[in-house]
Chain A
């Protein structure tokens, strides 16, 4: 039972354009969502998070949008840079627990 889904295993964009990574979840008890970036053989790096009481959170080039009714969130990266090429994981958590439920990841490639 996969509670957090990232349906696109890979995404390729041109440098300078927008990258949009999507994530869907099924458990309505999730109230906090996080995005991580990961390189092979390294630990995930925290990018940005959003609480379920918000619908948008921005941090520099990264913006996360949350649509609770659709149980959908997305990460926008503008403008995309070659250094953004990595695997991006969406994760969800429910109140009081530090347990993160991860999606399978989306491999982003930003072409120069």
Chain B
């Protein structure tokens, strides 16, 4: 079974631009979450989507947004990019069963803002 895929893997943008990152979950997984990893803050939760609905949002400004499609694929968007948005953006998927289910991560998108 294929793992979580993320595109693009690397991206360089200029301050003020916007960017869209894509995530395809493991087949059958309906929950997708996004995380930002930076050297200073570590791994920080951005948002969680399930059945095309945002279920939870982390402490990030409104410039960070996302959505999930009917096939469970997800995109996140960052508008008006700032230098501090340079980070590794990770997507994770899970079955989200009634009990607990593990989250599996993709390889990430490395975003550099200049």
Q: Which residues of A contact B (CB under 8 A)?
A: 32, 34, 36, 41-46, 49, 51, 89, 91, 93, 97-105
Contacts and interface: CB of A to CB of B under 8 A. Distances in A.
Contacts of B58: 99
A99 B108 contact: no
Contacts of A100: 33, 35, 43, 45, 92, 103
Nearest to A101: B45
Which of B45, B92, B100 is packed against the most chain A CB atoms within 10 Å? B100
Interface string B71-114: 00000000000000000101010101000101111111010000
A49 B102 contact: yes
Interface of B: 4, 6, 31, 33, 35, 42-45, 48, 50, 55-56, 58, 88, 90, 92, 94, 96, 100, 102-108, 110
22 contacts: A32-B100, A36-B105, A41-B88, A41-B110, A42-B107, A43-B92, A43-B106, A44-B105, A46-B105, A51-B100, A93-B100, A98-B31, A98-B33, A98-B50, A98-B56, A98-B96, A99-B33, A99-B58, A100-B45, A102-B44, A103-B42, A104-B42
